[in-house]
Structure 1
Amino acid sequence: MKSTPVGKPRKKYFKVEEANQSLPLVKAVVSDIVNKFKEIQERRERLELLRPKNRPKTGGDSMYAEELQQVEQDLETEVGRLQEYILELQALGVEFKDPVMGLVDFPALMDGREVCLCWKLGEPEVGFWHEVDAGFQGRQSLLADSVSKSEESAPDGH
C-alpha cells in the first residue's frame, strides 16, 4: 500500500477469522442501516404524495406547510442517523456497499493483492470474496487459508 497522508489512518485488512469475529456487531449495524433506509424511502414516497405539485399557494396548501416542513426536518434527522450507522462501519474498517441487500466488504489480502471479503445480511458468516473492481457479481467461494496466509505474509503495516 502506498504511503498514507498525515492524519489518515491506514487501511485495515481483515483475515477471514477477524471478519467473522466482527460479524455480530457488523450484522447489528447493517440491520439498522437496511431498516432505516427502507423507512426513509417509504417516508420520502409519502412526503412526495403530500407535497403540493404545480398548485398556486392557497389557504389550503399553507395550512399544511408547517406540518410538511416538520416531516421534512424529521426525514433529514433520519438521514443523519443512517449516515452515522455507515460511519460506524467505516470506523471498524468495513466498507458499506448496498442499503437494500445489506452488503458489506471487508478489505483483505489474497496472494499479495488487495481483495474484498464479501458478506450480506442473512448470511451466517463471511463465505465469499471478490476482486476489488469486480463487485458483488464477481463473488467467489472463499478459501479461508488463502486469505489468512496472505495476511500473515503481508508487508509490515498492512
Structure 2
Amino acid sequence: MDYQYTKHYSVEEACDLLPTLRNWFEEIDALTDRIREFDEFLAPRTNQGEDLGGTAPNQMIRDMARVHAILGVFHERDIQIMDLQKGLVGIPALLDEREVFLCWERTQPDITHWHPLNAGYDDRKPLWS
C-alpha cells in the first residue's frame, strides 16, 4: 500500500516524543518573542534608512536560523505543525492499516485523539472508545 508519509509512529512512540516536542515549542516561543522584540527595536531605524550592524541584527538572524532548524526537525520526522502558536501537531500513524494523524496540542498531557489526514481538529476521534 502507498502511504503519504514514510515514518509512522505508534501511540507509544508518539507519547515518548511529547517532552521533546514541548521543549521545541518552548524554545520556538522564546526565540520568536525575542525576534519580535528585535523587530520592534530595529524597524523604526531601518525605515529611516539607518545602516544597522552589530549584535542586535546578528542575534536576530541567529534566532531566526534556530527557529528554522527546529522546524526542519519537525519536517525530517514527518511531524506536521498544524498551528504553531497553539503547539498543535499531527503525528503520522497507522490505525488498522489506515494512515492517520495522531492529534496533540501542547496543553494536553497525552495523545488521546486522531483524525484522518484530510480532516482537521474538529474531526478528531478518541483513540480509545
TM range (shorter): 0.7 to 0.9
CA RMSD across the alignment? 2.7
Residue 131, structure 1, aligned to residue 126, structure 2: no
| Gap change, CA 1:77 and 1:120, over 3 Å in 2 | same
User: How many Å separate the matches in 2 of 1:79 and 1:121?
Assistant: 22
Amino acid in structure 2 at the alignment position of 1:116: F
Query: How far does the alpha carbon of each residue in 1:71-109 deviate from its partner, in whole angstroms, 9 at most, with x for none?
Result: 334322211100111222333442233221112211012
User: How many Å separate the matches in 1 of 2:88 and 2:119?
Assistant: 14
Matched residue, 1:31: 26
User: How many Å separate the matches in 2 of 1:141 and 1:49?
Assistant: 49
The count of corresponding residues between Structure 1 and Structure 2 is 129
**% identical equivalent positions:** 27
Matched residue, 1:95: 80
Gaps of 5+ in 1: 5-9, 54-60, 145-158
Matched residue, 1:19: 14
- What is the TM-score with the length of structure 2 in the denominator? 0.77
- What is the TM-score with the length of structure 1 in the denominator? 0.66
User: How many Å separate the matches in 2 of 1:3 and 1:13?
Assistant: 10
Q: C-alpha displacement at 1:117, in angstroms?
A: 0.5
Of stretches 26-35 and 16-25 in structure 1, the one that deviates more from structure 2 is 26-35
Match runs of 1:111-126 below 5 Å: 111-126=96-111
- Write out the 4+ residue segments of structure 1 that deviate beyond 6 Å after TM superposition: none
Matched residue, 1:104: 89
Amino acid in structure 2 at the alignment position of 1:90: H
Matched residue, 2:2: 2
Secondary structure of the residue that 1:118 maps to in structure 2?
strand
| Gap change, CA 1:41 and 1:138, over 3 Å in 2 | farther
| Gap change, CA 1:23 and 1:83, over 3 Å in 2 | same
